[in-house]
Amino acid sequence: MGSLVCVGTGIGLAGQISVRAKSHIINAELVFSLLPDGFAQHYLEELNPNVVNLQQFYAQGDEVKSRRLTYEQMTEAMLAAVRAGKKVVGAFYGHPGVFACVPHMAISRARREGFDAWMEPGISAEDCLWADLGIDPGQSGHQSMEASQFLFYQHVPNPCCHLLLWQIALAGEHTLTKFHTSSDRLQVLVEHLMQWYPPEHEVVLYEAAFLPVHEPSVHRVKLNELPSAPMGPATTLLVPPARRLEYNLEVLARLGLSPEDLA
């Protein structure tokens, strides 16, 4: 009977893959991959030569194609192999459950059809971000969301903690047919953020390094400079805290504590 496991290969090539994920890939009958570059793809094929590259389902050349259709095709490609009785692995860069809908779709569908299906975690871009920027998110807390979702819905950021906005280069893009936004839409994002952050507030445009010979990309700009800043599909926006944490005096009093007790 077929089975499916979706694994994360980490962000950095080879060095961030877990022992469990590597074992699943080596022992699979068929591996479906969605990786960031040819180097990572070659590494995967050295572990298991039976690899199908899911990149083929993205729009090619001048083709206009919704990513909803692309993700459905990727999911069905994996499920077809599972239904055929194959021991299938989906190998996705980073963490397969973080900003990656195909693994979730495939696992859910496989389970509904009675197949064994599960996920193995991986090192995500967020994990790399905290390490590369030297930030402990536990000190003040953090919020994390996709940039367009932040614009389209009633999210309220807490300026006392870190805010991560993913896929910032797609902010405000709703058609799922493009891989970039416009400076006008980024300006809308800036004006939206200025409800909670001053225009001169320093933000960070971050990209993790995919190859060991590369350094992470860390570009610091003022919030009001964001629409003209360089960014790509893998760029994440970090908005650091703009204010100190504020004591909840009512709750502290109920606990019999004061701010001095927490100093």
Is there a contact between 164 and 142 (Cβ–Cβ < 8 Å)?
Answer: yes
Q: Which residue has the tokens 């694994």?
A: 7
The SS3 assignment for 103 reads helix
The most distant pair of C-alpha atoms in the chain lies apart, rounded to whole Å, by: 66
Residue 176 and residue 156 in contact, taking contact as beta carbons nearer than 8 Å: no
* SS3 category, 141: coil
Concerning whether 93 is annotated as a catalytic residue, the answer is yes
d(CA 11, CA 209): 7
> What distances in angstroms separate CA 77 from CA 20, 30, 124, 135, 249, one per listed residue?
24, 11, 24, 39, 55
Q: Name beta bridge partners: 90.
A: 6, 32
Catalytic-labelled residue, pool 71, 185, 197, 206: 71
3 state SS of 126: helix
Q: Which residue in 20, 43, 58, 67 is the catalytic one? A: 67
Strand 30-34 with 87-92, pairing? parallel
What 3-state class would DSSP assign to 252?
A: helix
Tell me the DSSP string of 143-207. Answer: EEEEHHHHHHTT----TTSEEEEE-GGGTT--SSS-S---HHHHHHHHHHHTTTS-TT-EEEEEE
67 is known as an active-site residue = yes
Catalytic (active site) residue 43: no
Strand-pairing partners, residue 24, are none
Active-site residue among 93, 185, 197, 206? 93
Residues assigned a catalytic role: 67, 71, 93
